Structure 1
Amino acid sequence: MPYRSIYRPDLFAGRTVLVTGGGSGIGRCTAHELASLGATVALVGRQMVKLETVADEIAEDGGTAICHACDLRDEEAVRAMVTDVVDRGGRLDGVVNNAGGQFTSPAEDMSTKGFETVVRNNLVSGFTVAREALTQWMRDHGGSIVNIVADPIGGTPMMVHTGGARAGMITVTETLAVEWANYGVRVNSVVPGYIASSGMNTYTPEMQAKFTEGLKKMPFKRMGTEAEVSSVVTFLLSEGSSYVSGACYYVHGASQSIRQDWTVPDHTNAKPYQGFHRYNGPPHFLGGYTDDDAGEDQS
């Protein structure tokens, strides 16, 4: 069964798209969708084994992927990686800045080194990848850059480092969209809400308990799927969004819109879209979505 994208076949035929953090979670899902639509996908991350596993999956499905192991915090390594992508892919039409990572800690106990490491991971590296994509290809050919960030509204208790970095990346997005418009380069950001992805398994049991409890307060009464994020990213990379730049798209099921004094009754009406045929399932502390949960969208 192939990826069940909502977009037309061959939408990205002849194009190369770089996806950082492509070895798992949202990055893996997005890479699969882009490859299913004809793109040559450049998978970038620190663990080559994970990247090669995804590349093998894509090849089995009839797509094309190339792998690039890279520490995105290393400027020279990023420069060499982008050069390699352009050489092997022949071009660079799109970038999905998805890689990142953080840990939980009260701000008062967080070291400066720990804070700076996450900022380099989640802010500096994204800028460096975008800059190299521009200077090595997009400045002369145009392109689209999508930055995966996190919602800074209301702060990020227990993760002040990533809150600062991700909020910074939204501003970077808006700034680059203006500065690079004359090159035909569009820059946008996507803010996933609670997404049922394997990345949630890295959090402490205490944080996982907070996620589970938080579901009761969410208007949709469920977490989002990786495919629901990927479809928005894919739109922003496509020609259909040719007049969209400097924008921030929220994929959170209205979870940041609800007032504290408002309660949404329990329901099962917000059906998930699960187009990813190789979805590994939700985090271990959550139950899986069934065919019935996906309604008519499940195939």
Structure 2
Amino acid sequence: MNAVTTSYRSVFRPGLFEGRVAVVTGGGSGIGRCTAHELAALGARVVLVGRNPDKLHTVAGEIAQDGGKAEGRVCDIRDEAAVAALVAEVLAAHGRIDALVNNAGGQYIAPLETISSKGWKAVLDTNLTGGFLVARECYRQHMQSHGGAIVNIVADMWGSMPGMGHSGAARAGMVSLTETAALEWARSGVRVNAVAPGYIASSGMDHYPPEAGPMLREMARTVPAGRFGNEAEVSAAIVFLLSPAASFISGSVLRVDGARPQVRMGWGEFVASPEVQARQAVRPFDGFPRYEIPKVFRS
């Protein structure tokens, strides 16, 4: 990767999270990596959580190079004891956890009839159970007494997720969990919301099989905004929900999808033309200098 000399171009004020500690699961790549960079640029000390130590080390190094504070901690969020130990370690090191971004997740393309029980459980454990365990431990060990903010990352599963039914079920479950936690934990001063990314050109697409390329490249034609979103556009939504500006928002899902769920059969005339896409109100927000377009979209 070429050296980067420009800092994150966040729309939020400098120092917004100064003195705060934010945990970002799945922080080694994609939306998690981008969000970690933005939070660190705004003054937070970021704890990157994931299973791949090399990825965590790389992102922590990037953030340090850009002037921020971050560290990586290896944890399989599906392991209940490991999650409890992780949260205890973060609190022992820093004394607080002010924000949690439950971003870790993963899925694979498969029709329902081909998904095994093992495959189904693996996706639900990663996308739903793991997020629950991390949120529960942050609440039990710190936020119950000190308050905080949690953002769960879900997906555009409104109207189903054909080809990824296991992920759709998990994400729908996380929406319900978000609403329940927002209600139960409000008495402790904890806000819980979710962000639902639509079609986002993120590094996770690089893990899809080559035969998925043509489908992915055609998907933008079904988005009224006429394009894919990028990681910085999702990160901005997450940061907003963690910020004081969202102090009366809890139990909500903020969609970042260019109105994709509103598309119905035969409504293609509503998709924005390239000329419309160039207008200020809808053109892409380019906040993350280290962002790289997924390989499937490179000519």
- TM-score range, shorter-chain basis? over 0.9
What is the aligned partner in structure 1 of residue 265 from structure 2? 260
Asked if residue 283 in structure 1 is aligned to residue 294 in structure 2, the reply is yes
Q: Distance in 2 between matches of 1:162 and 1:259?
A: 22
Instruction: Give unpaired runs (5+ residues) of structure 1.
Output: 289-299
CA displacement at 1:72 relative to structure 2: 0.8
Q: Distance in 2 between matches of 1:237 and 1:265?
A: 31
Q: Distance in 1 between matches of 2:54 and 2:252?
A: 34
RMSD of the TM alignment (CA)? 1.1
Q: Match for 1:79 among 67, 81, 84?
A: 84
3-state DSSP of counterpart to 1:35: helix
Q: Distance in 1 between matches of 2:229 and 2:110?
A: 25
Aligned length: 287
Q: Distance in 1 between matches of 2:21 and 2:198?
A: 28
Q: Match for 1:135 among 133, 136, 140?
A: 140
Moved more, 85-94 or 200-209: 200-209
3-state DSSP of counterpart to 1:256: helix
CA contact (8 A) 1:200 1:208 kept: no
What is the aligned partner in structure 2 of residue 178 from structure 1? 183
Q: Within 5 Å, which residues of 2 pair with 1:205-216? A: 205-216=210-221
CA displacement at 1:259 relative to structure 2: 3.0
Q: Which runs of 4+ in 1 moved over 6 A?
A: none
| Aligned residues with identical type, % of pairs | 54
CA displacement at 1:122 relative to structure 2: 0.4
CA contact (8 A) 1:40 1:89 kept: no
What is the aligned partner in structure 1 of residue 246 from structure 2? 241
CA contact (8 A) 1:22 1:44 kept: yes
Moved more, 242-251 or 87-96: 87-96
Asked if residue 272 in structure 1 is aligned to residue 277 in structure 2, the reply is no
Q: Distance in 1 between matches of 2:71 and 2:172?
A: 31
What is the aligned partner in structure 2 of residue 230 from structure 1? 235
CA displacement at 1:203 relative to structure 2: 1.2
The TM-score, its normalising length taken from structure 1, stands at 0.93
Task: Pick closer, same or farther for the CA change 1:209–1:178 going to 2, 3 Å.
Answer: same
Letter in 1 for 2:99: G
What is the aligned partner in structure 2 of residue 293 from structure 1? none
Letter in 1 for 2:254: Y
CA contact (8 A) 2:156 2:257 kept: no
CA displacement at 1:287 relative to structure 2: 3.5
Task: Pick closer, same or farther for the CA change 1:265–1:241 going to 2, 3 Å.
Answer: closer
Instruction: Give unpaired runs (5+ residues) of structure 2.
Output: 1-5
CA contact (8 A) 1:51 1:67 kept: yes
Q: Match for 2:114 among 102, 109, 115?
A: 109
The TM-score, its normalising length taken from structure 2, stands at 0.93
What is the aligned partner in structure 2 of residue 10 from structure 1? 15
